[in-house]
């Protein structure tokens, strides 16, 4: 069986242009040449993004579809309001064209008309890698005109290709900033395959499954276990303190004691340096985040209306991955639609029940660990308190003599080492993030159990989509919180 293709990289060419064109055929020809030039760069597939206003927008959308590009439509207003800008005949053509769009999004639901057109143009710039503009160079003739959008793209430093609608001259700005491909996805695509590919008539889902499997395998295999290294650093400091305290408390003059303490401190410093500078930490975090975002995509695969939750997160560096997953999922939903009943059964069983089992296991490990460390903290703290109180009482009654072992263990060794042990136990609770994890696992289990009941009784796509959206947001929020905490620890 052939190995699934790597996750493709998609770039977006956005568009803005005038409504009135003297030579629509000439403009269409130039648009086609620019699109062909972009596609000829290689290393990525291209998606067209535009509105469908009369004039240049329609010319661009039709040209992109004729060349076989995927096309996404941005509408400034809801269709019922937007259609008033067209004659009945043209609107019928627009409606037909919109059925060919891979995704249709309304930018403004209730904004003033000119504001809505401005927002639509700015959103086009925000979500494109290069902007193609049919612009005569004149100032905008109204709020949200082509000139406003080009100026905004210039302010963001976007690569721009400008076609003069009168002379058909083509001018390029900042095109050297266009980097085709994505190093992050290239790294993830080069990871070793995780077993033989599974048979799936949906090639897009097979590709995402293979991608998720290899990123998950790489994250599990290459996890640097930095928490264990930090814990070992803490225990090395405790041991160094114990050796120094033993020499003083028991009047030991062994040459091994200072060398042992020195060895512990050097080892602790070396481990701390290793944790700070290990490259595997960065790669592991990337793999784990990619694996969980892909898992969320697979869990919602086949829904007729895409949620786009990972893509809307706004996390830096995540957009190319989310765009690739979004495009493959949208295309699969059109080519391989699933029934409501099969999706509902699969989602409850595989996603909700699977995550409930996972969080129960995690809580079953984290809760006892936290309780053991907390008991260690309280026992050491109470013993330190008792030993120190005993020593303080003895100092008030110097005429009373104490056995040698009491002086060594209770008056000298214990009061110094026990507070250090208590601090170590509490530090391990925070190093392993046990307070937050236990509370978070309990919260997520409660939310998932409630969602399971709602999903079981859902009878329509709309009701099920609302449940799925809440579940995925909660699960991905946990992933992003973990990513922030891990990245923060990496930075320090």
Euclidean distance between CA atoms 479 and 294, whole angstroms: 12
Q: Which one of 143, 177, 211 terminates a domain? A: 177
Q: Which domain holds residue 390?
A: 203-491
pLDDT bin (cut points 50, 70, 90) of residue 108 is confident
Q: What are phi and psi of 283, to 5 degrees?
A: -65, -40
* Distant-in-sequence contacts of 372-376, Cβ < 8 A, 24+ apart: 373/425, 373/426, 373/428, 373/429, 373/434, 374/425, 374/429, 376/421, 376/422, 376/425
pLDDT in tens, 433-481: 899 889 999 999 999 999 999 999 999 999 999 999 999 989 988 777 7
What is the distance between the alpha carbons of residues 416 and 252, in angstroms, rounded to a whole number?
16
Is 191 within a domain? no
pLDDT higher than 70, residue 78: yes
**Interatomic CA distance for residues 149 and 140, integer angstroms:** 9
In whole angstroms, what is the distance from residue 321 CA to residue 350 CA? 23
Closest CA to 287 of 315, 313, 321, 254: 321
- The answer, yes or no, to whether residue 3 has pLDDT greater than 70, is no
Mind listing the pLDDT tens digit for each residue in 8-33?
Answer: 999 999 999 998 999 999 999 999 99
Q: Do 301 and 210 reside in the same domain of the chain?
A: yes
- Dist. CA 44–CA 182, nearest whole Å: 9
7 phi and psi angles, rounded to 5 deg: -65, 120
Range 273-301 average pLDDT: 80
For residue 491, pLDDT over 50 is answered with no
Per-residue pLDDT at 490 exceeds 50:
no
Answer yes or no: do 341 and 242 share one domain: yes
Whether residue 144 has pLDDT greater than 80:
no
Report in angstroms the alpha-carbon separations of 243 from 240, 255, 268: 5, 11, 15
Helix intervals (H) in 137-202:
146-156, 183-189
Q: Is residue 171 located within the same domain as residue 77?
A: yes
The answer to whether position 185 is within a domain reads no
Would you place residue 360 in the very low, low, confident or very high pLDDT band (cuts 50, 70, 90)? very high
Q: Which of 162, 177, 192 is the last residue of a domain?
A: 177
Q: Are residues 156 and 211 in the same domain?
A: no
Yes or no: say if 312 and 105 are a contact pair by the CB < 8 Å rule.
Answer: no
Residues 92, 227: one domain?
no
Q: Is the pLDDT of residue 195 over 90?
A: no
Here the tokens at position 352 are 């909700």
Instruction: Assess if residue 197 is contained within a domain.
Output: no
Whether 103 and 213 map to the same domain: the answer is no
In a domain, 25, yes or no: yes
- 314 with 410, same domain: the answer is yes
238 and 158 both lie in a single domain? no
Residues 266 and 363 occupy one common structural domain: yes
Region label for 360, one of left (φ > 0), alpha (ψ between -120 and 50) or beta (otherwise): alpha
72 and 103 Cβ atoms separated by less than 8 Å: yes
What residues does 13 pair with on adjacent strands?
A: 48, 130
Sign of the dihedral defined by the CA atoms of residues 47, 190, 298, 433, in that order: negative
Alpha helices, H only, 300-352? 319-335, 340-346
State the Cα–Cα distance between residues 49 and 131, nearest whole angstrom: 9
Domain assignment present for residue 59? The answer is yes
What pLDDT was estimated at residue 194?
76
Task: Judge whether 318 lies within some domain.
Answer: yes
Q: Does the pLDDT value for residue 129 go beyond 70?
A: yes
pTM: 0.82
Whether 132 and 252 share a structural domain = no
* Average confidence (pLDDT) over 73-92: 91
Output the CA–CA distances (angstroms, integers) from residue 490 to 42, 272, 349, 409, 466, in the order listed. Answer: 35, 11, 36, 40, 36
Q: Are residues 299 and 159 in the same domain?
A: no
The reported pLDDT for the residue numbered 174 is: 93
Residue 484 above 70 pLDDT? no
Per-residue pLDDT reduced to its tens digit, 324-339: 999 999 888 888 889 9
Q: Which two tokens stand for residue 374?
A: 């907390």
Q: Do 412 and 340 have their domain in common?
A: yes
Tally the domains of the chain. 2
194 within a domain of the structure (yes/no)? no
Residue 292 domain flag: yes
| C-alpha distances out from residue 106 to 72, 79, 466, Å | 11, 8, 19
CA-based torsion, 276, 282, 287, 289: positive or negative: positive
**Predicted local distance difference test score (pLDDT) of residue 289:** 87
Hey, what are 433's tokens? 């993030």
Task: Answer yes or no: are the C-beta atoms of 150 and 16 closer than 8 Å.
Answer: yes
Which residues contact residue 78 at a Cβ distance below 8 angstroms, ignoring those fewer than 6 apart? 106, 109
Q: How deeply is 359 buried, as exposed, middle or buried, from its count of CB atoms within 10 A (0-12, 13-18, 19+)?
A: buried
> What is the overall mean pLDDT for the chain?
88
């Amino acid at each position: 069986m052939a190995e699934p293709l790597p996750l493709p990289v998609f770039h977006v060419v956005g568009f803005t242009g005038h409504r009135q064109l003297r030579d629509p055929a000439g403009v269409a020809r130039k648009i086609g040449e620019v699109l062909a030039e972009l596609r000829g760069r290689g290393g990525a597939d291209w998606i067209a993004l535009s509105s469908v206003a009369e004039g240049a927008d329609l010319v661009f959308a039709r040209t992109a579809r004729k060349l076989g590009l995927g096309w996404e439509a941005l509408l400034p207003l809801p269709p019922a309001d937007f259609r008033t800008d067209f004659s009945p005949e043209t609107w019928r053509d627009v409606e037909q064209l919109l059925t060919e769009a891979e995704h249709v999004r309304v930018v403004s639901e209730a904004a003033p008309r000119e504001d809505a057109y401005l927002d639509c143009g700015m959103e086009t710039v925000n979500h494109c890698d290069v902007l193609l503009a049919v612009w005569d160079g004149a100032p905008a003739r109204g709020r949200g005109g082509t000139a406003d959008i080009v100026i905004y793209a210039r302010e963001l430093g976007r690569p721009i290709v400008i076609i003069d609608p009168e002379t058909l001259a083509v001018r390029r700005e900042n095109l050297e900033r266009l980097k085709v491909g994505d190093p992050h996805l290239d790294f993830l695509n080069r990871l070793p395959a995780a077993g033989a590919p599974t048979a799936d008539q949906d090639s897009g889902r097979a590709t995402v499954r293979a991608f998720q499997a290899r990123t998950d395998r790489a994250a599990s295999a290459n996890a640097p276990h930095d928490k264990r290294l930090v814990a070992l650093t803490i225990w090395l400091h405790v041991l160094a303190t114990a050796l120094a305290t033993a020499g003083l408390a028991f009047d030991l003059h062994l040459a091994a004691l200072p060398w042992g303490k020195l060895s512990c401190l050097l080892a602790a410093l070396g481990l701390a340096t290793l944790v700070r500078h290990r490259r595997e930490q960065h790669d592991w975090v990337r793999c784990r985040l990619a694996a969980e975002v892909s898992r969320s995509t697979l869990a919602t695969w086949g829904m007729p209306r895409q949620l786009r939750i990972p893509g809307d997160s706004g996390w830096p560096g995540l957009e190319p991955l989310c765009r690739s997953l979004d495009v493959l999922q949208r295309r699969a939903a059109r080519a391989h639609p699933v029934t409501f009943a099969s999706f509902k059964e699969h989602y409850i069983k595989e996603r909700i029940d699977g995550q409930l089992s996972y969080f129960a296991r995690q809580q079953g490990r984290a809760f006892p660990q936290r309780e053991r460390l907390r008991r260690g903290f309280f026992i050491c703290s109470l013993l330190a308190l008792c030993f120190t109180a005993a020593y303080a009482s003895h100092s008030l009654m110097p005429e009373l003599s104490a056995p040698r072992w009491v002086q060594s263990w209770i008056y000298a060794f214990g009061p110094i080492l026990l507070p250090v042990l208590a601090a170590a136990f509490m530090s391990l609770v925070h190093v392993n993030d046990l307070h937050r994890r236990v509370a978070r696992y309990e919260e997520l289990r409660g939310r998932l159990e409630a969602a399971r009941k709602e999903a079981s009784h859902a009878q329509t796509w709309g009701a099920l989509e609302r449940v799925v959206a809440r579940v995925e947001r909660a699960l991905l929020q946990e992933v992003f919180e973990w990513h922030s905490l891990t990245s923060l620890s990496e930075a320090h």
